[in-house]
Amino acid sequence: PLKVAIVGATGAVGAEIIGVLEQRGFPVEGSPTLFGSKGGKSVETKQWGTLTTEAFSVEATKGYDVVFLAASGDFAIKYAREIGKGLSENGVVVDNSSALRYDDDVPLVVPEVNGQLCEGNKVIANPNCTTAIALMALFPLFLAFGLKKVIVSTYQAASGAGAAGMAELKEGIADAVQGDAYLEDDGRFGSKPIANTEFAHPLAFNVIPHIDKFQENGYTKEEMKVTWECRKMLGFPPLPSSSDTGKEPKVSCTAVRIPTLRAHSEAITIETEKPVTVEAARAVLSDFPGLKLSDDVDKNLYPMPITSTGNYDVEVGRIRRNDVFGENGLDFFICGDQLLRGAALNAVLVAEKARS
């Protein structure tokens, strides 16, 4: 059994990590040690009963085998490598923040894509949820047909903003439907606004084309993460630059927050290097572990949050020839549980791979 610690155990991702460890029967020695900002909070678990968080110190993680970080980027910058140094011989820190993702000494890993990088590294970064979910479909297509251009439009759930984001959406919907006549019978918005602090605008009955900070190039940071992380995980330098060789796929993303709770959907268009047919793409996608083909329009079968929520597999469907790129073009739609493949499941799979 392994000594396991979770930093940030009371947040949405921390809670999911506990759930995935339980579901997968991860060999935890005793029970996981939970660190919270102050300590003293109770966390209910199925397998280990009520656990109480401890205040974090690097000292307290010495000798551990697996430390999951579900904390801030600042925390990761300050402590991740230091924790790594004190771990057991094959110990690993899996960081869920974005702070270390572009550092040369920190691999960015989705185990089905580049799990070999788990070996010999003390600190491993989980990709951004949007990228992890997209890569599950993009990687097998990249291997089979090569990728020249990738255009992604996302439909991202409230859980991307954590437990507070999910609560704000649920409260906003309740307020709009039952509260002070915010939503009029004819669908118009009344004068009383829905409260928002987690999102730039109220999310209930809205979509917001703004996730994370705007960059100088007009994209948001969330959108650029898809570019930087796809490049790094496909084996290219993360940042596009004048030394690009032309082999790097060009990636462009529009990231939109929508009022769903915990599954991210993405419409993706690719231009491939080699010609691609729908049948060939389907064959490649259906063989890839962790992907589930959900693609039968005669039965109204396609990926949706309502079917992918709570599941490990990323759904892929609506696979069709893209008429703009012709025989080198493909359109498809994917949906994956943001807290599982996009965070907790991926982190636990990384830990399993690192220790195998």
| Cβ closest to ligand HSE, residue 144 vs residue 167 | 167
Which of 275, 256, 270 has its CA nearest to residue 327? 275
| Cβ closest to ligand HSE, residue 97 vs residue 272 | 97
Footprint of ligand HSE on 154-193 (CB under 6 A)? 156, 160-161
Q: Is 222 in the site for ligand HSE (CB under 6 A)?
A: yes
On the CB side of 58, how many CA atoms lie within 13 Å of its CA? 11
Catalytic residue check, 264: yes
Contact letters (x/-) for ligand HSE, 313-342, by CB under 6 A? -----------------------------x
How far is residue 54's CA from residue 275's CA, in Å, rounded to a whole number? 55
Report in angstroms how near the CB of residue 296 gets to ligand HSE at its nearest: 29
Among 211, 251, 345, 350, binds ligand HSE (CB under 6 A): 211
Burial class (CB in 10 A: 0-12, 13-18, 19+), 114: middle
How far is residue 5's CA from residue 65's CA, in Å, rounded to a whole number? 8
Contact letters (x/-) for ligand HSE, 47-86, by CB under 6 A? ----------------------------------------
Report in angstroms how near the CB of residue 146 gets to ligand HSE at its nearest: 28
Catalytic residue check, 129: yes
| Cβ closest to ligand HSE, residue 91 vs residue 259 | 259
Catalytic annotation, pick one of 118, 253, 264, 335: 264
Q: Is 129 in the site for ligand HSE (CB under 6 A)?
A: yes
| Cβ closest to ligand HSE, residue 74 vs residue 82 | 74
Residue ranges that bind ligand HSE, judged by CB under 6 A: 128-129, 156, 160-161, 211, 222, 342-343
What are the residue numbers of the active site?
A: 129, 264
